[in-house]
Structure 1
């Protein structure tokens, strides 16, 4: 697993940022808007997935009429951003980023959050100096997956995917890494249960510190 890895691509939401409560509250807000019952966190961690549109159609029990998906997306993001000031960095995030840099590794950040939203948040947390590049979602894709974004993220830095591990919190991170020719370690602290992460066949850690320790060990 560790041989040849020189670069980490970090996920943001649910990985470096502890924002489960904000994501769940925003999801329950849109469930209420569309007449669906609220969900508890552990239930959400068992059912959440990408692509988001068919997931929400299944969650709400119906297809979206024209304009409804855009309405849901706007409402979700607005509610989430109201709660963003209550979100903190994950336990050990700063120490882990610093330790990897000190050990001679490089790292970047790739998120499915909108790029224009992401960059000010990363800047506010003082994290920009840790990363060789920060990319949010700059465009939508039909697959609604991180895979195409990861390929572009690595190509923009001229990084060989074989030297990369992506550390994220959902199975789409694992799928993206595999599609790009990279490796993945998943952390069981975000929006997907450990059992579902383990089903990807990729290593699963209980903390950021443990995830990077897997690379050193």
Structure 2
């Protein structure tokens, strides 16, 4: 049934929640705002990133969104090399390839950063396409996904998309593909269930879905 497995990266493949929360709290501390714990973070995180920052308590009076984005990525990118890949990712990638599927990363992260991360984490070789954006603001994921589908002629009915946020459900809907939402990432299960998509608790559950 499926020929392509489309993966979100941050929070789905890479377990970077604690890193992202730590950097958010550094920014909040710089503005003398209360820090967030994991449940609070999972309650407010989302896209657009600028809206999420506002929900978290940040303001742009003396520190612009562009400056925050630069501050974040300069610290996030090198630190992300120390993050772990979620349990079951490698095994799922290998199993899907053995079943004849092609694997694609579709992320709101900048493409060059994604390529660097996947190479350092030693997973670059598993992916047929690594599709990111041209900016560090988390903008343009839907547009890049649509461009991929048009340029490759991939049939949406042959794709299964895996992500960890409501935005991933929005991306999947825009592409016309089926989606699974993983509870181990950046948003709470309760929020994910508001979009009525299929939920998985382990990355390895993807294989059972592929098998039908």
**TM-score surpassing 0.5?**
yes
| Deviation at residue 213 of structure 1 after TM alignment | 1.5
| Deviation at residue 42 of structure 1 after TM alignment | 1.4
What runs of 5+ residues in structure 2 fail to find an aligned partner? none
What runs of 5+ residues in structure 1 fail to find an aligned partner? none
Shift of the 88–58 alpha-carbon distance from structure 1 to 2, 3 Å rule, reads: closer
Asked if structure 1 preserves the Cα contact closer than 8 Å seen for 2:106 and 2:145, the reply is yes
Shift of the 161–66 alpha-carbon distance from structure 1 to 2, 3 Å rule, reads: farther
RMSD: 2.0
Moved over 3 A (4+): none
Q: Distance in 1 between matches of 2:129 and 2:122?
A: 14
- May I ask how many residue pairs the two structures share in their alignment? 212
2:196 to 198, 201, 212: 201
TM-score (norm 1): 0.90
Provide the residue aligned with 2:3 in structure 1: 6
Indicate the larger mover: 105-114 or 49-58: 49-58
Q: Distance in 2 between matches of 1:158 and 1:152?
A: 10
Provide the residue aligned with 2:134 in structure 1: 138
Q: Distance in 1 between matches of 2:130 and 2:101?
A: 16
Provide the residue aligned with 2:37 in structure 1: 40
Provide the residue aligned with 2:182 in structure 1: 187
Q: Distance in 2 between matches of 1:179 and 1:140?
A: 22
The superposition leaves residues 116-161 of structure 1 with CA deviations (integer Å, 9 ceiling, x where unpaired) of 11111111222222111111112589x9352222111222322111
Q: Distance in 2 between matches of 1:61 and 1:91?
A: 32
